[in-house]
Chains A and B, each alone.
Chain A
């Protein structure tokens, strides 16, 4: 995937500024940024590569599995917020430890499905940061040469 994200500082919160050559790549970039924050990794920029997939693995490779999430919304912004918030719930409450976004599919304009690779039942301490939610604050997804957005997270 040819996507890119950057962690952006705000006084009280943190944002993920991301871009991709398609809407799916943009969503994957945002999710990759959120994953990085959950794991407490502080590098501000990243182009996700396959070599990074197993970094921070908290389970045996054999225990890796996939999980799917879907979200509905009336526009791209709502789809993104809803998907990220469902992702946060899966990680923080259902104890998924995410490693990589496998695919992002838009069955129609009002829904999105995402598939991830990760570990089930991650032990306490696997996630280093609590993120309360993705917000709508000044959220706008733009489409030019690339798809771009900045998603503010409440931490």
Chain B
């Protein structure tokens, strides 16, 4: 197909080629290839220090600061080809940004902010952006440890996974069995996981093992719309679809015995990792706020390189309203994951005829990946409160941080990094370097390598369940397509991602986990 197209290439000469208007007859594919070629080959990174690369000012117009990408040298070509450095640069144009626009090594193309992006904004002069948090507000993971060994559960793994698949609702449009009154729903929006704790197979000790103790203050349920409520009212305790999962795993390697002991982890142990978020509630809150913020951007005269970066001054009425609704969504996500922790324990209780407490099924920790939080840092020698956006990134506090629960204060925060369903996941611990260089942030997972369609195409005709069974992983999924979209090779190798954050000094490896069985939506 031939097509007459106009492309305004707004790249700066020193980095990306000449600014020019190209007007010629070309196929769409040829033009796309040309643009990718230019971006891939002309963008240069300056190595700041090992595993840290600078995206220079000028990469896009209007940058207020530099970009900074944490990566291993071997990852750079792939990152450039994905065009994500441009997205890192776009974030650097936003008002009130403090320090660099950051990206973790699992960075990949997002909408507005890249996935794996971290950016901090001054509370007085800066903005808050729903696109810097994402649609799945407080998408995150939690890890349950146990006294069981992988060896003891392996003979029963099919039964365990089948029971988990039956008990934890998953898949497109999945609805839970928990029915909430309006009062209960409001309570969850206000206090999050604290509403769940004590019900079913959960207790108050779970709260101590959750980021923010499973509840962000400052949420205002009255600012959550009826549509957002309607979207989530039957979704408490549901996994969802896409990349969300519930996985039974084995601790196959311990790298940091002291931290592993503090987290209650040992080699050969069976653990359970759950990945989900705020479901339809977060999607609706983000969607509605983005529309409001399109108007704010016009009113405030903020120039954006991408409308998905729509934002509002933190102290404006709209900025505060978003933060209040976002906190409610985050609280719903914590409640959702803890409800699934309860359902998981219930399954093990039934199968092993012991209480979950006697099985040692305590929560190691629960972390969020998509959030904006007010945090204090020392900037230029003085304490400054910043609104830290993490979109596909994990908070990673170092030992001694007062925000950590007493049980982890001596070693640092457990950081949970899920991989793909065929290879591995990791438990890391936060280090002081993260507070100095990444606003106490690290990576959040493997990061996609292939598009969903490409993954489906490349595995056409394959029986994914059988293929994973040969690797010793039992898989149950609601949607057949999901399995093809989520095949291991669709993701980067999480070991490489983890090696980069370890190399940059922001996290340290504690343990490696391998899947025994997975429930997918």
Contacts and interface: CB of A to CB of B under 8 A. Distances in A.
11 contacts: A11-B82, A11-B109, A12-B109, A14-B452, A42-B453, A81-B290, A89-B231, A92-B231, A124-B173, A128-B481, A135-B308
Contacts of B82: 11
B244 to A, nearest CB: 10
A42 B481 CA distance: 10
Interface residues of A, number: 38
B70 to A, nearest CB: 18
Contacts of B454: 9
A130 B242 contact: yes
Contacts of B286: 133
Contacts of A81: 290-291
B177 to A, nearest CB: 14
Nearest to A93: B231
A10 B481 contact: no
A142 to B, nearest CB: 9
A133 B135 contact: yes
A76 interface: no
Nearest to A71: B291
A127 B135 contact: no
A155 B294 CA distance: 22
B454 to A, nearest CB: 6
A138 B294 CA distance: 14
Interface residues of B, number: 46
B449 interface: yes
A74 B109 contact: no
Interface of B: 4, 82, 108-112, 115, 134-136, 171-175, 227, 230-231, 240-242, 280, 283-284, 286-287, 290-291, 294-295, 298, 306-308, 310, 448-454, 456, 479, 481
Interface in A4-26: 7, 9-14
A9 B449 CA distance: 12
Given A9-B453, A136-B111, 6 more contacts: A12-B115, A13-B110, A89-B231, A135-B290, A136-B308, A154-B134
Nearest to B282: A132
Contacts of B4: 144-145
Contact of A9 (B136, B284, B451): B451
Nearest to B454: A9
Contacts of A85: 287
Interface SS, B side: mixed
Given A40-B481, A124-B173, A136 B290 contact: yes
Contact of A12 (B174, B230, B448): B448
Given A11-B82, A12-B108, A136-B290, A42 B456 contact: yes
Given A42-B453, A130-B241, A137 B231 contact: no
Closest 4 CB pairs of A and B: A137-B111, A9-B451, A136-B307, A137-B308
Counting chain A CB atoms within 10 Å of each CB, the highest count among B175, B295, B308, B479 belongs to: B308
A93 B175 CA distance: 11
Interface SS, A side: loop
A115 interface: no
Nearest to B291: A82
B450 A152 contact: no
Nearest to A6: B28
Contacts of A137: 110-112, 306-308
Contacts of A7: 453
A58 B509 CA distance: 50
Contacts of B481: 40, 128-129
Interface string A111-133: 00000000000001101111011
A14 B454 CA distance: 11
A127 B110 contact: no
B326 to A, nearest CB: 15
A42 B484 CA distance: 13
Nearest to A155: B242
B172 A154 contact: no
A138 to B, nearest CB: 6
B108 A135 contact: no
A69 B231 CA distance: 17
A54 to B, nearest CB: 22
Contact of A139 (B108, B134, B307, B448): B307
Nearest to B135: A132
Nearest to A92: B173
B111 A154 contact: yes
A81 B280 CA distance: 17
A11 B392 CA distance: 14
A81 B131 CA distance: 15
